[in-house]
Amino acid sequence: MRGFRYFITIVDDFSHFTWILPMSNKSMVKKLLPDFVSYVENQFESHVKIIRSDNGAEFSLTYFFTSKGIVHQTSCVETPQKNDIVERKHQHLLNITRSLLF
């Protein structure tokens, strides 16, 4: 293992295509998210319009979001049903990882 303890699960609402970005610490979000938005703009000739996340402090990139015209939505605390698709994928990934480690 390369010291990755965390990961971001990014799911496209339209196609449900999923990207998994491994991180060694949560502060890497400030670099990974702008890089991901750049990747989407260049490779798919599309623009990210909305990013939905939990209330984690690592997603406080207000300057980046406003400069790109991205709406940042946060889900309410203890309501995983607001992000049901991502939550199900996240749990599935964790279960598979645990199975492989076992």
Q: What is the pLDDT of residues 36-73, one digit of tens each?
A: 999 999 999 999 999 988 888 888 899 999 999 999 98
Q: pTM of the full predicted structure?
A: 0.80
For position 83, what pLDDT does the model report?
A: 66
What's the confidence (pLDDT) of residue 81? 64
Q: Which CATH number fits domain 6-101: 3.40.50.1820, 3.20.20.150, 3.30.300.30, 3.30.420.10?
A: 3.30.420.10
Which of the two residues, 71 and 14, has the higher pLDDT score? 71
Question: In terms of pLDDT, which residue wins out, 27 or 78?
Answer: 27
Residues 69 and 50: their CA atoms lie apart, in Å, by: 9
Residue 53 near residue 75, CB atoms below 8 Å = yes
pLDDT greater than 70 at residue 17: yes
Does the structure show a pLDDT above 60 at 1?
no
Going by their DSSP bridges, the two strands 50-53 and 71-74 should be labelled as: parallel
Q: Whose CA is closest to 54, among 74, 25, 71, 37?
A: 74
